Structure 1
């Protein structure tokens, strides 16, 4: 199956990081005298580092530059991951299971430093042929840039790629890239109904994502 690929998201798919991101960003905004809006967390999901740092600096805070915001938040996240990676159940097994018949890629909204840290800590870095951070493309999710870049680096057409996503913007991004999408929603951050409808299959958890399922979904493309 070398001409087919599986592209994982990181946050919310392999690691339960959205609560950590929210806690860290909320804490930073509060300490800096800013305001956290009701829709802030939903808006942040899928943004690139440049995008969310600018949003925090310009819309929620009054004073720090986007560069200062990004540095401080990422440093706090790095320290949290150094203590413990919030690995989701079945994540490592799912990566290893998919790596046997498929080429693997990863497209994440996390900065490069955190992607490399997490994949190294959980021992699966060598299984991914290509990893892309939205720092490295023009637009973050829901734009398709990251997924298109991963497919190009893997030398696999998007239509022959299955993406595994959890968030509304992630689902939109992978679908816009022309990939078949498997949704593995997180209960505390459920995707919008219209975004979930873009998925070819919705799985209850990573254990339900098998090579047979991916093969079936890709064959229907």
Structure 2
């Protein structure tokens, strides 16, 4: 099956937000007297809002609810994005280039409010035919739920979609949905080797995401 749609991740693909998420959540945990064990950020990447908030409330701090964690962290993230989200080089061009080629979807672990804020700020919200936050499905990444929901909204079989991902959990999620995955790893949070091996192509940057690359992948 040839590529019928392109599905982007948001955090780490279009915006360099993972360091911001880590700083905000790590700060929240510190402010509430908790500890931030090694590997926590990688563990949280891809989780839905409910999942990471519950993890923080249950395992990292005491005396707060998951709802309280989510509200405060997302509010801080919104404030950080107010001056403009940390857009990665080539992100807007990649979205516009791919939108001229195939229908676009987005499967993100960010909450809906931040997805809409970022895409609106970039001026590309109208280019996506379907956007899904993992808070809107049963399970976050690495489960395939978000990617399957996007494919359903696009009315495209999941194997007909090509996903653009950066994280280990994101790569596993798109692969579990039976999509072909192009990895654009972030040096600050490189994916695990076994997850990176699931990618059909590893790109050095968004400038590599072209029609020629997609068509060169061949059928799924």
Question: Which whole-Å deviations, capped at 9, do the CAs of 1:41-70 have from their partners, x for residues lacking one?
Answer: 110000000000000000000111000000
Output the CA distance in 1 between the equivalents of 2:215 and 2:110.
28
- Residue of structure 1 in register with 2:71 after alignment: 71
Query: 1:13 aligns to what?
Result: 13
Post-superposition CA distance 1:154-190 (Å, at most 9, x none)? 0001111000000000000000000000000000100
Whole-angstrom CA distance in 2 between matches of 1:158 and 1:107: 13
Residue in 2 aligned with 1:174?
Answer: 174
The aligned length equals 219
1:82-103 CA-partner distances (Å, limit 9, x unpaired)? 1221000000000000000100
**Separation in structure 2 between the aligned mates of residue 152 and residue 53 of structure 1, nearest angstrom:** 27
* Residues 109 and 141 in structure 2, CA contact (< 8 A), matched pair in contact too: yes
Q: CA deviation at 1:216?
A: 2.1
- In structure 1, the residue corresponding to 2:86 is in which secondary structure? coil
Which residue of 2 is the match for residue 60 of structure 1? 60
TM-score (ref. length: structure 2): 0.98
Contact kept, 8 Å, 2:3 with 2:162, in 1: the verdict is no
2:107 maps to 107
Name the CA distance, whole Å, in 1 between partners of 2:3 and 2:186: 30
- Name the structure 1 match of 2:145: 145
Q: Over aligned residues, Cα RMSD in angstroms? A: 1.0
Deviation at 1:212, TM superposition (A): 1.1
Structure 2 CA distance for aligned equivalents of residues 18 and 167 of structure 1:
10
- Map of 2:219 onto structure 1: 220
SS class of match (2:82): helix
User: Using the alignment, how far apart are the partners of 2:83 and 2:57 within structure 1?
Assistant: 27
Aligned match of 2:22:
22
Give, in angstroms, the shift of residue 220 of structure 1. Answer: 3.0
Aligned position for 1:86? 86
- CA shift, 1:3, in A, is 7.2
- The runs of at least 4 aligned residues of structure 1 exceeding 4 Å deviation read none
Q: Deviations over 1:182-210 (max 9, x none)?
A: 00000010000000000000000000111
Q: TM-score when scaled to structure 1?
A: 0.98
Question: Which 5+ residue runs of structure 1 have no aligned equivalent?
Answer: none
CA contact (8 A) 2:3 2:219 kept: no
User: Does structure 2 retain, via aligned residues, the 8 Å contact 1:3–1:156?
Assistant: no
Unpaired runs of at least 5, structure 2:
none
- How does 1:199-214 map onto structure 2 within 5 Å? 199-214=199-214
Matched-pair contact (CA < 8 Å) for 1:163–1:179 = yes
2:185 maps to 1:185: yes
C-alpha separation between the residues in 1 aligned to 2:151 and 2:212? 21
